[in-house]
């Protein structure tokens, strides 16, 4: 699991090294599209790897009975699909930040942070929605353990992304 988590800053690095350079060099739009498609593909593969390893981590630590596992994994997959949609929005926000980095106005910076906070709220709402759903298929202690693991993995990824993304005030 940790290998994928340590690779996560590559996402931010790719974005901040590739996107602003394209705009400052005046690369032809077709080149921008090709590079962006390549970045999107790399990020997609990275996210799939992290999701796979997260599922393996949960499977090896949650200690589910066969009956619990049969009921839990479809719920987990549904939860992950909804979480991925929020992750897509977070990725788009990071891309927007990378794209504008160096030229962000105060208003744009404020808009980015407000939308980032709104995404954080969506994640909290999603977890709150799924606590009773997971608790229908798992006992309380295992439900709590699942959400503890989910939050830890998310916190590690968020911390690594945050460490790799430069401060707005450093853009000038």
- Residue 4 has a CB neighbour count (10 Å cut-off) of 20
Q: What is the band of 24 on the pLDDT scale with cuts at 50, 70, 90? A: very low
Residues above pLDDT 70, as percent of the chain: 73
Closest CA to 144 of 4, 152, 57, 158: 152
- pLDDT level of residue 34 (50, 70, 90 thresholds): low
Helix (H) or strand (E) holding 56: helix 29-61
pTM listed for this prediction? 0.79
The one-character DSSP state at 168 is G
Residue 23's pLDDT band (boundaries 50, 70, 90)?
Answer: very low
Q: How many CA atoms lie within 13 A of 160 on its CB side?
A: 17
- The answer to whether the CB of 160 falls within 8 A of the CB of 6 is yes
Q: How far is CA 144 from CA 10, 19, 67, 135, 147, in A?
A: 31, 40, 18, 9, 5
Q: What is the pLDDT of residue 163?
A: 82
User: Confidence class of residue 108 from pLDDT cuts 50, 70 and 90?
Assistant: very high
Q: pLDDT-derived band of residue 25, with 50, 70 and 90 as boundaries?
A: very low
Residue 76 burial by Cβ neighbours in a 10 Å radius (0-12, 13-18, 19+): buried
Residue of 116, 95, 92 lying closest to 18 (CA atoms):
95
Coil, helix or strand at residue 28: coil
Dump pLDDT digits (tens) for 43-84: 676 777 777 888 999 999 999 999 999 999 999 999 999 999
């Amino acid at each position: 699991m940790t290998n994928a988590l340590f690779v996560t800053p590559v996402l931010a690095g790719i974005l901040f090294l590739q996107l602003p350079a394209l705009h400052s060099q005046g690369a032809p739009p077709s080149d921008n599209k090709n590079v962006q498609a390549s970045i999107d593909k790399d990020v997609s593969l990275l996210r799939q790897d992290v999701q796979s390893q997260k599922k393996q981590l949960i499977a090896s630590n949650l200690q589910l009975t066969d009956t619990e596992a049969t009921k839990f994994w479809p719920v987990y997959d549904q939860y992950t699909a909804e979480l991925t949609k929020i992750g897509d929005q977070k990725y788009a926000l990071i891309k927007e930040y990378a794209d504008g980095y160096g030229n962000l106005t105060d208003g744009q910076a404020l808009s980015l942070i407000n939308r980032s906070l709104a995404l954080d709220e969506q994640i909290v709402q999603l977890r709150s929605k799924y606590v009773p759903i997971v608790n229908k298929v798992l006992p309380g202690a295992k439900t709590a353990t699942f959400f503890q693991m989910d939050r830890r993995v998310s916190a590690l990824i968020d911390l690594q992304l945050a460490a790799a993304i430069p401060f707005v005030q450093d853009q000038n």
